[in-house]
Chain A
């Protein structure tokens, strides 16, 4: 009996370790601690009844110390507005008042369907635990689906469902509220190999609650994100300071 209990404990421990390792592996795919990262994000929002809105932002990341800088370069009305992450602190710079306010990675980026956490390094292992898994299909692809539950207050959503493809590539994420309400679906249909790293270069975000009734049918807001010029090159330290955002303010 003792052996069975011991075996079950070991099995449970191994299972937890394996699940933890999987989330860590997905994080590792989307996190670049060995090098600075920079890219240009083009975000096209399609709001039913309102047409399309395009925002362009550049991002610099230093995942080793959890630093990131995001600066909006278009449209002109928001040019120079920036976000600065220094460790666990995330600030937004308002060029009009010249002041920094703290913000949360859960907050929307410029009232779009992107969360600030979508720009920065993946922290699935720190924020979630796997509660179930099953084999699944996404289109014609064989995938594994995992249901995740938040274990920290910092998690952007209370629950998630993720689809993982071959080589543990993250293909799709559904974000849920605590009550189980679907909030958002994120699809990653395209990655680019830069050096020996994979970078998601195309993301599609579909809101479950934000949208409009058109001809009696709910049409959700959609956002397409195209990541251009991904690079793993050293970035000057100055780029991760408030002074750098002040330099961009127009």
Chain B
């Protein structure tokens, strides 16, 4: 406890110096998950509990029932007016984060290990939509190397074409990531489209009665090297709503990779989601089915998640929790449980609190992050985070700890400048 207090005092004294001499640090990623939303502010007064006088709206001719003018009779919302842009639209996101952190590699460590540095990821996108049914989108990014403080060469983050056929089938094709699955906190096992992160994909969606069917074909350099005829992977997602229950089923087929560590060739997933008392509850199960080259069944493993999500914008509360697990014919394994909480209307000056806690049930490792975030001057956010990681060496959260020094406890302070145009 004394060490933590000492850390706080040292951070307070050394922060201005550390910020001035920025060197290298990628520690911020540890606490970023806490701060994935903008804080909001609402002025409020004492209010009134008496009726408001609205008679002025109903005196004389104030109340009106208008007739449509003849030339207005055909006027309606036209998505062409909204979507179409004859000239390219350029947009950008600029971000620079500087800060410092100090912490202990082990709880019994006598020495405080320091990091201070900067990180930046800037994006520039161009959007051209000559017709409402045709759109081109490209995005490049430049990353500031956290170690050398040199900028990377610009790389293509996204490039895709949208085409809508007769307002019936929506097609998106190019280098863009598709995300399926309902996992929020950990590995999102239901995301059978995960490989689209570095692949060229073709996705098409169309309504089927009150449901939606989405097909997905994708390929990347690894698939192209495949000796067999199959140079791509195939997946589909079918989603429907029955009363107040959302249902979805998806499956993916990939070629059998020679690497034994590779994902199995067949995946199938199903989810059920509903809201009870304003809380989203989701159950999702995924089966990974393995076959040999002659398509003989070798066996299956299973993963699942149960999660809850609650957000109340009036109260400024956001809460989510998740239980992720794997199982096979013999036992459950890799059971992880966690929750996150943010209270945007609880204020410590301009800062509001966040909490993120995760625990691995089987290896007894875990991580708790307590944080504060707020906009201290326009476009500049102050973030303070205290991550605590526990567990034996080699356990899940110790291995996954994103702190470059693998510190078990640290106090991080960062200033984040964000600008979007």
Contact = CB atoms under 8 A, between A and B. Distances in A.
B313 A39 contact: no
B150 interface: no
A-B pairs, top 8 by smallest CB distance, nearest first, are A139-B58, A231-B76, A243-B205, A88-B244, A209-B47, A236-B167, A139-B59, A237-B207
B206 A172 contact: no
Given A89-B241, A238-B168, A229 B64 contact: no
Given A138-B55, A209-B44, A237-B168, A201 B49 contact: no
A190 interface: yes
Nearest to A169: B65
10 contacts: A87-B242, A88-B244, A104-B278, A108-B313, A192-B66, A206-B52, A211-B47, A231-B77, A236-B168, A238-B170
A153 B275 contact: no
B311 A243 contact: no
Nearest to B314: A108
Contact of B43 (A107, A193, A212, A246): A212
A30 interface: no
Interface in A169-216: 169, 171-172, 174, 180-182, 185, 187, 189-195, 198, 201, 204, 206, 208-213
Interface string B185-214: 000000000000000000001110010101
Given A102-B246, A153-B277, A241-B205, 16 more contacts: A38-B76, A47-B43, A58-B82, A67-B210, A86-B210, A87-B242, A88-B243, A98-B179, A111-B313, A139-B57, A171-B63, A185-B52, A190-B66, A192-B65, A192-B68, A198-B65
Interface in A121-165: 138-141, 153, 165
Contacts of B210: 65, 67, 86-87
Nearest to A180: B49
Contacts of B50: 182
Contact of B164 (A67, A212, A247): A247
Nearest to A231: B76
A interface SS class: strand
Nearest to A139: B58
B82 A73 contact: yes
Contacts of A180: 49
